[in-house]
Amino acid sequence: MTDVSALYIGLISGTSVDGIDAALVSFEQDRPQLVHALTHPWPEAMREQILRVAQDETKLDLDAYGRLDVAIGQMFADAVKELLTQSGTPAVSVRAIGSHGQTIRHRPSGEYPFTLQIGDSSVIAERSTIDVVADFRRADVAAGGQGAPLLPAVHAMLLARPGHTRVVLNLGGIANITVLSANGHVSGFDTGPANGLLDAWSLRHRGEAFDRGGAFAASGRMDEALLANLLEDPYFALPPPKSTGREHFHLGWLDARLGSATFSPADVQATLLELTAKSVANAIAEHAGDASDVLLCGGGVHNGALVQRLRELLHPRELTSTGTQGIDPDYLEATAFAWLARQRLLGLPGNLPAVTGARGPRVLGAVYAAPRTSR
């Protein structure tokens, strides 16, 4: 019998690979509530390795794959330990961990569609002594879906405003929107890059993992011809359901479009910021024309230059953070994976077929049992 009143933990390292977000979550009438959260940073060498693998700059042999899977699992277990210590929570009072893992490849279309999140869940269960639910995307992909985005179900539960069309915009490495329609319908998809390309260009030209506040972009001038060239990527015109990742939008993608043309690094950064803002605004105009407000979450809420540009493009819609609704924009994804773990233990579906394109609702994830004798 599942104890539905217990605490859960949600874990995710997203496409920015900036750290492992860990959230301790309680439930009240099935609604998740954040109790405590932290971001456990990746050691720099590991972050670089994950990025190289995710962008196909490093081809992994099976031994290297196995080692990376375990190393990521160990870091996820460390994040759990830190979360329990900081919050003063004994492991025994946590019913389960929902671990998204680290996406290293996402190819949900074609003859053999797949999506790959790694971070050995048995290692997390063994080290934390807590049951782990993981592998949340593959059942949806097996059912013909994209396996992503999964957050729209949680956005609907926490942020829908009956009678109004509202958009939730996640600005992670990749950007995705959820459209919460006035009539209750929920749709959503990945619009394209958010911070991933901005981070990569910042690292290459300034040695900084991200462009704090968007200052680097703000120091340059957007180039119209380059922007038009980038927006020609066929992904932007694809109809939903659709999802993407670092295997598509990465520095190699950008370099191929820059070709032999010379731009100042700051002008490219400004153009990348405009690419994120324009592709998001175009998607909202096309799929949520009647939206009255847009709620932001994900690390991009801290990029003042990006938020300012989005505000201009989305005018007259109101643009605020999910924080205005009492939802921490930095930990919504981790909170959602705690909810998904609970759904799995309750035998309830986690996907929204109208979003992912799956043939139907599916119970998502697999359970990795903790060692019973040590509890």
Ligand X SMILES: CC(=O)N[C@H]1[C@@H]2OC[C@@H](O2)[C@@H](O)[C@@H]1O[C@H](C)C(=O)O
Q: Does 188 bind ligand ATP (CB under 6 A)?
A: no
17 belongs to an annotated ligand binding site:
yes
Q: Does 303 bind ligand ATP (CB under 6 A)?
A: yes
Cβ contacts of residue 193 below 8 Å, gap of 6+?
A: 173, 174, 175, 249, 272, 275, 276, 279
Beta bridge partners of 31: 28
* Residue type at 179 in one-letter notation: V
The neighbour count for residue 286, using CB atoms within 10 Å, is 11
| Interface mask toward ligand X for 306-335; x: CB under 6 A | ---------------------------x--
**Closer by beta carbon to ligand X, 149 or else 329:** 149
Cβ contacts of residue 92 below 8 Å, gap of 6+?
A: 129, 375
Q: Does 303 bind ligand X (CB under 6 A)?
A: no
**Closer by beta carbon to ligand ATP, 181 or else 195:** 195
Looking at 178-186, 212-220, 251-259, 352-360, which segment touches ligand ATP (CB under 6 A)? 212-220
Q: Does 15 bind ligand X (CB under 6 A)?
A: yes
* Residue type at 307 in one-letter notation: V
Q: Which of 7, 10, 14, 167 binds ligand ATP (CB under 6 A)?
A: 14
Q: Which of 119, 172, 188, 220 binds ligand ATP (CB under 6 A)?
A: 172
Report the nearest approach of ligand ATP to the CB of residue 142 (Å): 22
**Closer by beta carbon to ligand ATP, 50 or else 68:** 50
Look-up: residue for tokens 């994209």? 146
Report the nearest approach of ligand ATP to the CB of residue 101 (Å): 11
12 belongs to an annotated ligand binding site:
no
d(Cα 220, Cα 126) in Å, to the nearest integer? 50
| Interface mask toward ligand X for 150-189; x: CB under 6 A | xx------------------x-xxx-x-------------
d(Cα 238, Cα 375) in Å, to the nearest integer? 50
Q: Does 220 bind ligand X (CB under 6 A)?
A: no
Cβ contacts of residue 370 below 8 Å, gap of 6+?
A: 125, 126, 128, 129, 130, 131, 132
21 belongs to an annotated ligand binding site:
yes
Whole-Å CA distances, 7 to 16, 30, 74, 271: 27, 12, 22, 44
Continuous segment of H or E residues that includes residue 12: strand 7-13
- The residue among 56, 44, 38, 57 whose CA lies nearest residue 17 is 44
Q: Does 174 bind ligand ATP (CB under 6 A)?
A: yes
16 belongs to an annotated ligand binding site:
yes
Note whether 336 and 344 are within 8 A (CB).
no
Q: Does 72 bind ligand X (CB under 6 A)?
A: no
Note whether 160 and 166 are within 8 A (CB).
yes
Looking at 44-52, 82-90, 191-199, 278-286, which segment touches ligand ATP (CB under 6 A)? 191-199
Query: What is the Cα 137 distance to its own chain's centre?
Result: 12
**Closer by beta carbon to ligand ATP, 91 or else 203:** 203
User: Residues annotated as binding site?
Assistant: 14-21
Residues that bind ligand X (CB under 6 A): 14-15, 103, 106, 115, 148-151, 170, 172-174, 176, 190, 243, 245, 333
